[in-house]
Amino acid sequence: MHNFRIGVVKTLAAAVAMAALGFGTAAHAQQGQAMDFAKLQIKTTKLADNLYVMEAAPGVGNVMMLTGADGVLLIDSMFPQLHDKLMAAIRATGATGPVKYVINTHLHGDHTAGNGLFAKDGTVIIAQDSVRRRMLLPKSELTPAYPPENVPTVTYNDRMTLHFDGEDIELIHPPAAHTDGDTIVYFKKANVMHVGDLPASFRFNNIGVNDGGSVDGMIADGKLVMKLANSQTKIVPGHLGPVVGFKEITIQDTMFQTVRDRIAKMIKQGKTLEQIVAAEPTKDFNEGRLGGNITPARWIGLIYTDLTRRMKK
């Protein structure tokens, strides 16, 4: 028996549920362990003269920063427990201006929970329409709506462009994939693109099955990223990185399609989720992907949930 199967049947339902929530209410590190924010350090990577990526941990959304005469613009906001460290990392680059904008790539808490502290200082929070809509609605009796201070105050539907710090920043809403409120942020002059939690970095990507996401959407949007970008584009993923290329996205695309097809076949054969997990449909793809936040069992559970729901319709 392989290590990842040990004890999986006992905890599978809870793990799948936690992954489906997208870590909106609690911070979790690798393999679902509680995150020790005090020990986290933010790593900053310079991508261009005024563009940077800040990383804290695999379970924390990567932040991009644009800085210049107009001030500072961020992509995502990490957790509030990391706010002071994030601000210190921003200032360490030499950026002195106020944080004017935070653009959220989607609603999940590892990307948006820090919104409120920025908003308190006058930062404008921007996201796709569905992010605001979902944030304002409780997921369930046990999962309340997001804090109002975290909710975006400026939203867009399909596309939006900001002209800031000498950049033309295009916000692109792709078809529902990780969630139904995803945003790809493209810095056109620098040819740098932040793709949020769409398939990019080498890991098992969370699929927001309760937030409008689907495995087929993730596959489609991985292909879309490759169409929007070019061979020179620096692609920043929502986790890990700091930069990935077409090779990583192509490998992820193959993995997604292969595992989806395997699980779909077993569902049609009448196998249960526990039986599918035990069959290890990700076995030949596990190497190199176990450092992320989603275990193989949890990822299989998300795909199973998505496919079985749609097969019943």
Q: pLDDT tens, 145-203?
A: 899 999 999 999 999 999 999 999 999 999 999 999 999 999 999 999 999 999 998 89
- 265 within some domain: no
Least confident span in 17-21, 108-112, 236-240, 277-281: 17-21
Residue 10 has pLDDT above 90, yes or no: no
Q: What's the rounded Cα separation, in Å, for the pair 274 and 291? A: 23
Q: Which domain holds residue 173?
A: 40-256
* Helix (H) or strand (E) run with residue 230 in it: none
- 272 within some domain: no
- 278 within some domain: no
Looking at per-residue pLDDT, the higher value among 201 and 235 belongs to 235
Pairing of strands 234-236, 99-103: unpaired
- 244 within some domain: yes
- pLDDT, position 257: 97
- 294 within some domain: no
- 217 within some domain: yes
Cβ neighbours of residue 242 under 8 Å, at least 6 residues apart? 43, 45, 47, 53, 55, 62, 236
pLDDT band at 6 (very low <50, low <70, confident <90, very high): very low
Q: How far is CA 145 from CA 21, 80, 151, 277, 284, in A?
A: 12, 17, 10, 32, 39
Does 242 sit behind a cis peptide bond, omega within 30 degrees of 0 on the bond before it? yes
- Indicate the number of domains in the chain: 1
Percent helix, percent strand, percent coil in the chain, to nearest 5: 40, 20, 45
- 261 within some domain: no
Looking at per-residue pLDDT, the higher value among 217 and 3 belongs to 217
Residue 25 has pLDDT above 70, yes or no: no
- pLDDT, position 33: 59
Q: What's the rounded Cα separation, in Å, for the pair 293 and 58? A: 6
**Span 36-49, pLDDT tens digits:** 999 999 999 999 99
Domain of 52, CATH number, reads 3.60.15.10
- pLDDT, position 141: 73
Percent of the chain with pLDDT over 90: 80
Residue range 292-308: average pLDDT? Answer: 94
Query: Strand pairing partners for 155?
Result: 127
Looking at per-residue pLDDT, the higher value among 50 and 30 belongs to 50
Q: What's the rounded Cα separation, in Å, for the pair 43 and 133? A: 33
- 3 within some domain: no
Mean pLDDT for the chain overall: 90
Residue range 199-210: average pLDDT? Answer: 92
